[in-house]
Structure 1
Amino acid sequence: MVMLLMLTVFDVSGAFVGITIGNDMSNLPSATDIVAILKANKIQHVRLIDADHQMLTALANTGIEVMVGVPNDQLLRVGQSRSTAADWINKNVAAYVPATNITYIAVGNEVLTNIPNAALVLVPALQFLQSALLAANLNTQVKISSPHSMDMISKAFPPSTATFNSTWSSIMSQYLQFLKNTGSSFMLNAQPYYGYVGGQGVFPLEYALFRSLSPNSQISDPNTNLFYTNMFDSMIDASYNAMQAMNFTGIPVLVTASGWPWRGGPNEKAATVDNALAYNTNLIRHVLNNSGTPSQPMNQSSTYIFELFNEDGRSGPVSEKNWGIMFPNATTVYSLSFEDVATTIPESPALRGMFCVANSSAPHSSLKHSLDWACGPGSANCSAIQPGQPCYESDNIVAVASYAFNDYYHRTQASGGTCSFNGTAMITSTDPSHGSCIFAGSTGANGGTSPGPVSPDSFASKSQSCWLTRLVAALLAILVM
């Protein structure tokens, strides 16, 4: 029997985390100061809400990838005149490349839900700008799309039944066809803060902040039985399913804004420094882990954090002015690292010689379910069970699940982690290590506890390893079918 594994993979080079820079503030730092901040924080991707010429000049020869924006107040002119669109490209893009590494144009922002009177010119604006890029021979380097909010999606949970608001069906069909034709991404402003606040207690705060939920309290899609440990992934999968409902597949999702406000008014209890720090820290870790989403494990969504500076000119409640990680005077609201940090398992003498392994009598489908949880939400280091690695066994789900279960157990036992996995795992004193496949808890030649294979130090290596982990999961899915 011949099996064909068909996987849509958009990018195996790894997702990135960038940041958004707005301009609705009373005292914006100079362009050179902003670029210095970007360099100091090793930020290599930036989204400009507009196409500020001073910023584009300051970003020249830095290597930083830049997304420029056509503001909403310019959209009508660009979408009604081919010559105006060409002029916009010439003045704001062609005049600065290649010195400034412009890679994307965001046309408007949440146009259909924020300025519905401009809805009919959105797709023409995209088409006119694309024609201008083609004329300037920049259509390969620079892609075009338009950011949408989650308000475009009706009933976003469960993700499997998500659809776009039928009011915009015709425009969305044209928009998605444009993305398909040009190889561009679906831009999504994914803000779990709004989802949490708007849910009025339906979803726990931990779910919105990427904080751990116990295996018994996971939120699942009843139609697919996929578990969702965070609202961010649920939003992305809702977008994929909404596109699929319109018969469009193979269009990657690019998250153009995601963050958390650090201060709010008296009735905005969730807008705190602690929550903002937790969300953005966990978001960065999640994106750079390249773990994909439950329904799209092979497809990672690069993300722009919203935002670099607080914008005191924004209208609305107090929280709307306080999404920034910095004040306009360049002092930090809270410290945030834009680099992923690999972790290893600390030595635990109490667990030395004890191993959490898969129960060989458990159904393979149950083992697969538990393995997915361990390598995904459980944050076990599953790099050693990837193809070509020492613990990889393509036809032995018990062996690979044992490695993942044991890694999870040794990482989390001190903070309450257990060796249960819904009855698919058990504790043993028999060391399952073999050859160069060393399990956490195994005693090495020096009598110390081996932490097992650790995460690669380099981001490039980790990017490759994480998507390969998902490939293993996909292959294992075939084994248990």
Structure 2
Amino acid sequence: MLEKWIVTFLFSFGLMSTTAAGSAFIGLNIGTQLSGLPPAPEIVNILKQNQITHVRLFNADAHLLEALSNTSIQVIVGVTNEEVLEIGEYPSKAASWINKNVAAYFPATNITAIAVGSNVLTTNRKAASVLVSAMNNLHNALVSSNLNNLIKVSSPQSMDIIAKMFPPSIAHFNSSFDSIVFQLLQFLKNTNSYFMLNAYPYYGFLKGNGVFPIEFALLEPLPPVKQIVDPNTLLRYDSMFDTMLDATYNSMAVLNFSTIPILVTESGWPSIGGTDATNENAATFIKNLVLRVQNDSGPPSRPSVPINTYVYEMFDEENKRDWGLFTTNGSRVYALSLSNPQKRTGNNNNASFSSTFCVVRNGADTSKLQKGLNWACGQGGANCSAIQKGEACYNPDTINDHASYSYNDYYQKMIRFGGDCDFDGTAMLTVVDPSE
């Protein structure tokens, strides 16, 4: 079962490139601070073999930028924290950086954004004081190169800039960062950019000291007695990941910025290092994160805003061990063989991958059906908008009909990855199209 879901995860990188325009995608972070780093062309080959279509580089590595040319892989290129101070103080340094690390490779290398530093506000006080100036200088340099409408500028920040995460409705930025954060958000709004967020439920779970169950951090289904609800909005949260997103959205709203979307630039789970840092937990988290992103929905307060997300990270770096998904020889940490997924045909969201369909089994237990329906429409990633009240497939309004719809939507999406039609014994396969 574990290996089946790793297949899902790995191929889901490629799946994002074949979905309709506007659909959420999963990307991958690439750090280069490790001994034995493969040559850049080999790294790109690994990306291609696993159909990874979006990457974020922590620096402007010339070898990787060159190797990524003519691949169509979308690239976020990073300004290091050490570079932020100089770029923030001298516009000429920003212009030089853009010419050397962006203009020299674009458009052959599909650079879509610049990430200015990483967690600057909480880790580098000197750089923090000129962070927004650095972002402005880089943006102005892009304007001079006629690239400002093609390449966004933002700065990844950690959840540590938020004073309190739960309940999300009362979350706000730490007051010591208010002035800089306000300027940063004003820049993002003026340039039509997005807020880059490094969101790690793993750290949120550790800091919670047992307040939240580990299933909440791993994006696993919660039993009814453990449902997490914001007491002020009555919104239900199925995962800490969504809680972090809404805490950030609300923090922006407190400063009167409500239209800036979030781009998750880092999220992951370590595979070694403690009771909760295990291979199994890491695999479970990644599997559920991919399904969550594939759902093409936002957190409870912004359900119509998908959450593009970059997984941390490709290789284990020297000072950040046990987060990597690949070894330096290109094999996967969660080892198994891969096969090419079947191609989906047509534009219909419910288009089938085969001539079989997944429907409710006659006489299925109602309580199990409700649990299966909830899972399929939540963690399973099924698109259940059509069975909501007032929508095209709401009637007949029965648990059997709604469950059959959600089961089949999930099955058709996941059959290519080995997804089954079981749902605790409440489902079965049929050759009769249930939509007819």
Q: Please indicate the TM-score interval, normalised by the length of the shorter structure.
A: 0.7 to 0.9
Instruction: Provide the C-alpha distance between the structure 1 equivalents of 2:77 and 2:398, rounded to a whole number of angstroms.
Output: 45
Q: 1:56 to 1:288 in 2, by over 3 A?
A: same
Q: How is 1:294-313 mapped onto 2 (pairs within 5 angstroms)?
A: 294-312=300-318
CA distance in 1, matches of 2:208, 2:138: 38
Which of these residues, 130, 140, 144, is aligned with residue 131 of structure 1?
140
Structure 1 residues 99-178: aligned runs within 5 Å = 99-178=108-187
Distance of 1:306 and 1:293 partners within structure 2: 21
Within 1, Cα distance between the matches of 2:132 and 2:36? Answer: 34
1:199 deviation in Å?
1.2
Deviations 1:409-456 (A, max 9, x none): 999985388xxxxxxxxxxxxxxxxxxxxxx88x9xxxx5857459xx
2:257 aligned to 229, 248, 254, which one? 248
Greater C-alpha Rg: 1
Letter in 2 for 1:375: C
**1:329 offset after TM fit, Å?**
2.9
Q: For 2:383 and 2:189, how far apart are their aligned partners in 1?
A: 35
- Aligned residue number for residue 466 of structure 1: none
Aligned-pair identity in percent equals 49
Q: 1:193 aligns to what SS in structure 2?
A: helix
Q: Report how far residue 215 of structure 1 moved.
A: 2.9
TM-score norm. by structure 2 comes to 0.81
Q: Give yes or no for contact 2:394–2:402 (8 Å, CA) kept in 1.
A: no
Amino acid of the structure 1 residue aligned with 2:387 = I
- Of 267, 278, 296, the match for 2:284: 278
Contact 2:357–2:431 under 8 Å retained in 1: no
Q: How is 1:372-411 mapped onto 2 (pairs within 5 angstroms)?
A: 375-376=377-378, 382=384, 384-385=386-387, 391-392=393-394, 399=397, 403-405=401-403, 407=405
- After superposition, what is the alpha-carbon deviation per residue over 1:103-149, rounded to whole angstroms, capped at 9, x for unaligned? 00000000010112221110000000000000000001100000000
Q: 1:21 to 1:413 in 2, by over 3 A?
A: closer
Q: Please, which of 345, 352, 366 is the counterpart of residue 362 of structure 2?
A: 352
Q: Which moved more, 1:372-381 or 1:237-246?
A: 372-381
Alignment partners' CA distance in 2, 1:127 and 1:323: 33
Q: Conserved in 1, the CA contact under 8 Å of 2:291 and 2:381? A: no
Check if 1:77 corresponds to 2:89. no
Distance change (3 Å), C-alpha of 1:218 and 1:79? same
The 1:355–1:389 alpha-carbon spacing in structure 2 relative to 1, beyond 3 Å, is farther
SS at match of 1:399: coil
The correspondence of residues 370-449 of structure 1 with structure 2, limited to 5 A, is 375-376=377-378, 382=384, 384-385=386-387, 391-392=393-394, 399=397, 403-405=401-403, 407=405, 415=424
Whichever residue aligns with residue 312 of structure 2, its letter is F
Alignment-derived partner of residue 293 in structure 1:
299
Q: How far apart are residue 330 of structure 1 and its match?
A: 2.2
SS at match of 1:106: strand
CA distance in 2, matches of 1:151, 1:405: 40
Give the Cα–Cα distance (whole angstroms) in 2 for the partners of residues 133 and 196 of structure 1: 40
Question: Which one-letter code corresponds to 1:291 in the other structure?
Answer: S
Per the TM alignment, residue 217 of structure 1 is displaced from its structure 2 partner at its CA by 2.0
1:48, distance to aligned residue in structure 2 (A): 0.2
Q: Give the Cα separation in 1 of the matches to 2:91 and 2:392.
A: 58
Cα distance in structure 1, aligned partners of 2:375 and 2:190? 36
- How many residue pairs get matched? 391
Instruction: Give the RMSD, CA atoms, in angstroms.
Output: 3.4
- Aligned-partner residue type, residue 292 of structure 1: G
Distance in 2, Cα, partners of 1:117 & 1:453: 61
* CA–CA separation in structure 1 for the residues paired with 2:324 and 2:379: 28
Residue 64 (structure 1) aligned with residue 73 (structure 2): yes
CA distance in 2, matches of 1:381, 1:236: 20
Indicate how the Cα distance of structure 1 residues 380 and 326 shifts in structure 2: closer, same or farther if over 3 A, else same. Answer: closer
How far apart, CA to CA, are the structure 2 residues paired with 1:326 and 1:104? 24
**Structure 2: which 5+ runs fail to align?**
1-19, 345-351, 411-420
The Cα of 1:12 is off from its aligned counterpart by 6.9
Compared with structure 1, are the counterparts of its residues 400 and 150 closer, same or farther at alpha carbon in structure 2 (3 Å cutoff)?
farther
1:322 aligns with 2:344: no
Gaps of 5+ in 1: 1-10, 315-319, 358-366, 418-439, 455-481
Distance 1:278 1:374 in 2: 16
- Aligned match of 2:241 in 207, 228, 232? 232
SS of match in other structure, 1:321: coil
- The 1:17–1:158 alpha-carbon spacing in structure 2 relative to 1, beyond 3 Å, is same
Q: Secondary structure at the match of 1:18?
A: strand
Give me the whole-angstrom Cα distance separating, in 2, the residues matched to 1:158 and 1:90: 44
1:332 is matched with 332
| 1:347-368 C-alpha deviation (Å, 9 max, x unpaired) | 66xx3266969xxxxxxxxx9x
Q: Select which of 61, 64, 77 maps to 1:55.
A: 64
CA–CA distance in 1 between the matches of 2:23 and 2:130?
A: 34
CA distance in 2 between counterparts of 1:339 and 1:226 reads: 37
Describe the shift of the 1:334–1:413 C-alpha distance in structure 2 as closer, same or farther (beyond 3 A). closer
CA distance in 2, matches of 1:98, 1:152: 35
Counterpart CA distance in 2 for 1:280 and 1:149 is 19
Q: 1:231 to 1:452 in 2, by over 3 A?
A: farther
Q: Is the 8 A contact 1:347 1:451 kept in 2?
A: no
TM-superposition CA deviations, 1:355-408 (whole Å, max 9, x none): 969xxxxxxxxx9xxx99873357665265379986256xxxx83877435656
Counterpart secondary structure, 2:130: helix
Tell whether the 8 Å contact from 2:195 to 2:260 is kept in structure 1 after alignment: yes
Q: What is the CA–CA distance in structure 2 between the aligned matches of 1:71 and 1:335, rounded to whole Å?
A: 32
1:14-53 to structure 2, matched below 5 A, reads 14-53=23-62
Letter in 2 for 1:399: D
Change in Cα spacing, 1:388 to 1:205, as seen in structure 2 (3 Å) is closer
1:374 touches 1:404 (CA, 8 Å); kept in 2?
no
Distance 1:102 1:380, change over 3 A: closer
Deviations, residues 64-93 of structure 1 (Å, cap 9, x unaligned): 000000000111111000000000000000
